[in-house]
Amino acid sequence: MSEAKITLHDPKTGQTHELPVYHGTYGSPVIDITRLHAKTGYFTFDPGFVSTASCESRITYLDGEKGELLYRGYPIEQLAEKCSFLEVFYLLVHGELPTPEQRREVEHAITHHTLINESLLEFFKGFHYDAHPMAMLTAVVASLSAFYHDSLDINDPEHRLQTAYRLLAKLPTIAAAAYKHRVGEPFMYPRNNLSYCGNFLHMMYARPTEDYEIDPVAEQALDTLFILHADHEQNASTSTVRLAGSTGTNPYAAVAAGIAALWGPAHGGANEAVLAMLDEIGDVKNIDKFIARAKDKNDPFRLMGFGHRVYKNFDPRAKIIKRICHKVLERYGNDPRFELAMRLEEIALKDEYFIERKLYPNVDFYSGIIYSALGFPREMFTVLFAIGRAAGWIAHWLEMMDDPRRKIGRPRQLYTGPARRDVPR
Ligand code: ACO
């Protein structure tokens, strides 16, 4: 990280102030404003953090103009093709891809910690049968902190890593239990001889009354989707995990906060919203009407799965997902919504409104069609996103805990409310 200076001139006082400028490996340089208020009396104003780097990180880089995504320097396309999700988890957490021995170790550590405390299973009974699985996931993940006191010293690096592995291991178990609760089927215990995704499919779809065979196409598609969702630098949910974690709260609570943030339709909830939108459009002949609605500022409708805060070009994940979609539908039969989505993409990409604003399909545009083909109900889509993204949340929480400059996250504000006044009584 190289350092330069930028000079700020305050016309009000006539004073000049020098602020350090840092250049990272890639990306825009940043102005260090940590001493700005102390030096000048000014705060900065940046709703939505559109111009603010909230931390230094060595995990993920994305170039929104080029449509490039790198985890620890490796392009997402190569990781999706050559690695497993657990290898990518290892990479995000440890900074390097695992050796064969490290791979076996991480696979063993994760696939042998998949059981959850039996009392946690009782929690699900407290939810109404139609509770949203994201509500159950948020609550049960937060509750993990009530069960694993033995490894909750956040100042102990070994405890931190153990908790990190535990979280990733138990998430599919909790997710599948939420699904089974909704459909009223008996909970299926995890099987340690299965892969991470094979085990998840088993817990989702197996029943005690019959054999269940894991389909390698589904297992592979899910594994790649988890890789594609694993991290995306300081997105809303990851920033939430960091902000919650900055207070010193335990990682289960911090990740539960991240899950809650992911739920929103402007973030991870968009994959659910895309299918709802495709169902609502219903037919290619209605596309023009919905495109017109998306462009109408008086209509709250937006083209779900389109646009991104950082990507002003194709989201590289969307391209890979579109290819997986073809493969999965070859296996499971065509879904007319895929045709509809591709036609919608084609029309939108030629439309001046979308071109001008650089709105392209994002990661969520095609993922729901794959999940649907694999038998997941719509309400589970964001849960699947959460399992993949947990790898990134964990890596960022660990990185933050190791950062000697860690401070509690506490933004300031521009107050425009009433001036001081007395209660008229
Ligand atoms: N449909 C129609 N218009 C859109 C869309 C869309 N999907 N997205 C952005 N725009 C328009 C806005 O109306 C705005 O137009 P204006 O300049 O005329 O006012 C312009 O494009 C810029 O949009 P902002 O909302 O300012 O961009 P921002 O970076 O704040 O939002 C976001 C990004 C939230 C992703 C937005 O594009 C969106 O709502 N997309 C749909 C939801 C979605 O797919 N979310 C998933 C994101 S990826 C993820 O989280 C995994």
Q: Is the CB of 309 under 6 A from ligand 1?
A: yes
Instruction: Determine the residue of 62, 309, 360 to mutate for testing ligand 1's pocket, defined as the one with the most ligand atoms within 8 A of the Cβ atom.
Output: 309
Of 368, 364, 370, 363, whose CA–CA distance to 327 is shortest? 370
Phi–psi pair at 67, nearest 5 degrees: 75, 45
Shortest-distance atom of ligand 1 to CA 48 = 30
> CA-to-CA distance for 370 and 381, rounded, in angstroms?
10
Of ligand 1's atoms, which has the minimum distance to the CA of residue 236? 50
Question: Quick one: angle between helices 133-143 and 157-183, nearest 10?
Answer: 150
Q: What is the pLDDT of residue 1?
A: 65
For residue 363, what pLDDT is reported?
87
Across the 425 residues of the chain, what is the mean pLDDT of every consecutive 10-residue run? 84 92 96 94 95 96 94 98 98 98 97 93 94 97 91 91 96 98 96 96 96 96 97 97 97 98 90 91 93 94 91 90 94 91 92 93 90 95 97 98 94 97 97
What spacing in Å lies between the alpha carbon of 240 and ligand 1's midpoint? 20
What are the angstrom distances between the C-alpha of 303 and each of 219, 271, 307, 395?
30, 12, 8, 31
Question: Do residues 138 and 256 touch, judged by C-beta distance below 8 A?
Answer: yes
Burial class of residue 341, CB neighbours in 10 A (0-12, 13-18, 19+): buried
CA distance 299 to 339: 26
d(CA 281, CA 341): 10
Q: Measured from the CB, is residue 367 less than 6 Å from ligand 1?
A: no
